[in-house]
């Protein structure tokens, strides 16, 4: 999960739809490439840090869950949690 979150956050932080949804700033690709998004770098750093801390805790907990439930069941539970989180998230934005 930790490596997955690293790849995702590196990619989406420069996507205009993500910037609009997360930071409520309308930017185009040219502004992103020029570094003129109007987003406070501290806020971006906090966003990345929170995602990485969450992934770290999930990785630690996953090791114990794997031992108790097994790999297949743990992956299924993780998939259900991930599906729930991604399906509920757009509702909170409105």
In this model, does residue 7 exceed pLDDT 80?
no
List, for residues 66-94, the tens digit of each pLDDT value: 899 998 998 888 888 878 876 765 545 54
**Residue 5, pLDDT score:** 64
Residue 81 is predicted with a pLDDT of 81
Q: Report the distance separating Cα 35 and Cα 77, nearest Å.
A: 39
Cα–Cα dist 67/56, whole Å: 18
pLDDT value of residue 3: 66
Per-residue pLDDT tens digits for 38-57: 888 888 888 888 877 887 88
């Amino acid at each position: 999960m930790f490596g997955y979150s690293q790849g995702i956050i590196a990619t989406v932080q420069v996507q205009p739809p993500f910037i609009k949804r997360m930071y409520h700033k309308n930017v185009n690709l040219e502004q992103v490439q020029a570094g003129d998004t109007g987003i406070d770098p501290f806020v971006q750093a906090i966003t990345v840090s929170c995602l990485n801390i969450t992934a770290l805790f999930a990785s630690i907990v996953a090791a114990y869950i794997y031992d108790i439930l097994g790999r297949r069941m743990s992956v299924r539970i993780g998939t259900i949690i991930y599906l729930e989180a991604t399906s509920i998230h757009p509702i909170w934005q409105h």
